[in-house]
Amino acid sequence: MAQGTTRRAFLGGCALALLSTSALAQSMGGAEWADRFDASMPTLQNLKSTQPMLSPETASQTERAIQTYQQIVQRGGWPTVPDAAQGLRLGKRDPSVTVLRQRLLVTGDLAQNSGRTDTFDSYVDGAVRRFQIRHGLQADGVVGASTLQAMNVPADVRLHQLEINLVRLRSLSGDLGYRHVTVNIPGAEIETVEGGQVYSRHIAVVGKIDRQTPILSSKITQINFNPYWHVPVSIIRKDLIPKMQKDPNYLTRNKIHIYNGKGRELQASDIDWNTDQAMQFQFRQDSGPDNSMGSVKITFSNPYDVYMHDTPSKSLFGQDARFHSSGCVRVQNVRQYIGWLLKGNPQWPSDKIDQVIRNGDRIDAQVSPPVPLYFVYITAWENREGIVNFREDIYDKDGLGTANMSADASTDSAAVTTASQNDSRAQDAIYAKQAGLPGQQVGTGYSYPPQQGVAN
C-alpha cells in the first residue's frame, strides 16, 4: 500500500479500477446507446495503487488509450451533459441524470447494467466519483462546475490531448532513478517513487498562470530546516511594493527585514515606496510558523530560482484548483516527504527531524545520495491498471484550450487536429529543452531534441 497523504481524488494512494481501455473498446463493439445500457461489464473494484504515473509502460499504455478514444470518436463521442445537471448528487432526481448516465457509460465510469432511471442513485454516485478521480478532482460525487466542465470536453479533444502527451511520455520512459520524485504541474501532485513503486503521494500548490512553475530536471541535495525567506526580486516588484504602498506596517507585521548590499539593516521609512528603489535591496523574512516557506525548504539546483517548501497556508491543499504560488512548489505533509528524502542519511532519523522542527532550530541537512527530481507537465495518460487520466491544461501547453472548453464547443475536428499538432510541436520542443530530457522518435513524426539537463 502506498504511504502518505494524497489529494482527495486518491486518498491513501487508492484509486478505483475502471474498465480497462481494451475491455471498454470490446464492450462497445458496434452497440447502440440502448444496447450499451444492458451490456455486461467487468466488476469494478477498489485497487490500492502503488504504480507511479511515469513508468516504462506508461507510453505504451497511453498508445492503447489512443486506440480506444479513436473508436469513441468514430462512434460519435459522448453526449453533452446539460447545465441542469450541475449540483446533482446522490438521491436527486432529474431528467438530466439520464444524459449523465450515458456520458459516464461511454468512458467506462458507469457499469453497463446500472439501469436507465433518472434518479441519481448509488451507481451514478460511484461513477461520478470514478470520473472525478481520473480527472484529479475532489471525489465528492457531486456534479460541480469543475466536474461538469471536464465531462463536456469533447471526445476528439481528449483524443488529441492523449496524442500530444504521448510525445512527452516517451521522453520520460527511460530510467528516472531507483529513488526519485515527480511533480506533475497540471495535476498539482507529487509522487515519491522507490524501486518502481510509489512510496507516498502529496498534494502540491504550484505556480499561478502568470507565474508558472517551470518544467525541469534536477537533484535534491539539501533540506533547510526553519529557513529564512529571501524574497525574490519578482515578488518584491509584484507584491511587496504594492503592499507597502497600501500598508506601511506590512513588513513589520510579517517580520521582514531590509538589508543593503553591505548587510546593514534599513528601516522601511528609508525607502520611497512610490518608486522602484526597493528593488536595490534584499528582503529577508524571519524563520518561524508564519514564514512563507513554513518549517522546511527543499533545495535543488536550477536556473529558475525555484524550490519546494512547506507553507503556513495549509487550506490551499484542500482546493480543486491549487495554482497559487509564484512558481515554487508547496508540499503537503512535508514531514513525511523530507523523512523519505533523508532516509539515506543516518544522522537524520525521524525523531530528530521532528525535534528540529519543533524547536525552531535553523539547521541544514544533506540529502545523500541526491535524489533525482522531475517537474513535468502531463495532462493525459493511461496507467498500468488501464485507467485513463486527464488533468486540466492550466498553462495551455497542449494548445487545445481545454481550460476554457465549454459544453457547446463546435470546433471542426480537422482544424483542431492541425492546430494542436502545430502548437504541440513547438510546445514539446520547448518542453524537452527546459526539462533536459533525451529525445526519442515518436509516431507523430517529430521528436524531442537531446538536451543537457540542469541536474548536478
Q: What would the mean pLDDT of 371-394 be, rounded to a whole number?
A: 96
> Would the pLDDT of 183 be above 90?
yes
- pLDDT-derived band of residue 422, with 50, 70 and 90 as boundaries? very low
Q: Which residue has the higher pLDDT, 19 or 277?
A: 277
- The torsion defined by the Cα of 406, 411, 414 and 417, in degrees rounded to 10, comes to -30
Give catalytic status of residue 328 as yes or no. yes
List, in sequence order, every residue forming a beta bridge with 119; answer none if it has no partner: 93
Query: What value does the mean pLDDT take over residues 92-113?
Result: 97
Say if residues 205 and 322 touch (Cβ distance below 8 Å).
yes
Q: Which amino acid is at 38?
A: D
In DSSP notation, 324-365 reads: EESSSEEETTHHHHHHHHGGG-TT--HHHHHHHHHHT--EEE
User: Interior CA angle at 271 toward 328 and 324, to 5°?
Assistant: 20
Grid cell, residue 69, equals: 478514444
100 or 425, which is more confident? 100
Cell of 397: 501547453
Query: What are 201-238's pLDDT values in tens digits?
Result: 998 999 988 889 999 999 999 999 998 888 888 888 88
The whole-number pLDDT of residue 235 equals 82
pLDDT band of 1, cuts 50, 70, 90: very low
* Residue partners of 351: CB distance under 8 A and separation at least 6: none
What pLDDT score was predicted for residue 234? 80
Amino acid at 135: H
Q: How confident is the model at residue 322 (pLDDT cuts 50, 70, 90)?
A: low
Residue 162 predicted with pLDDT over 60: yes
Helix (H, G, I), strand (E, B) or coil at 30: coil
Q: Please classify residue 269 by burial: count the beta carbons closer than 10 Å to its beta carbon, then call 0-12 exposed, 13-18 middle and 19+ buried.
A: exposed
The separation between CA 115 and the C-alpha centre of its own chain, rounded to angstroms, equals 34
Distance of CA 250 to the CA centre of its chain: 32
Closest CA to 33 of 135, 134, 103, 125: 103
Of 160, 180, 202, 328, which one is the catalytic site residue?
Answer: 328
Contact indicator for 373, 300 with CB cutoff of 8 Å: yes
Decide if 257 is catalytic.
no
Task: Specify the range with the lowest mean pLDDT, choosing from 60-74, 182-196, 222-236.
Answer: 222-236
Q: Is residue 247 within 8 Å of 309, Cβ to Cβ?
A: no
**∠ CA(318), CA(240), CA(260), 5° rounding?**
130
The Cα–Cα gap between 48 and 31 comes to 32
Cell digits for 345?
Answer: 542519511
pTM: 0.74
Candidates 180, 230, 309, 324; catalytic one: 309
Q: Which of 46-60, 65-79, 244-258, 310-324 has the highest mean pLDDT?
A: 65-79
Q: Work out the end-to-end distance of the chain between its first and last CA atoms, rounded to an integer number of angstroms.
A: 32
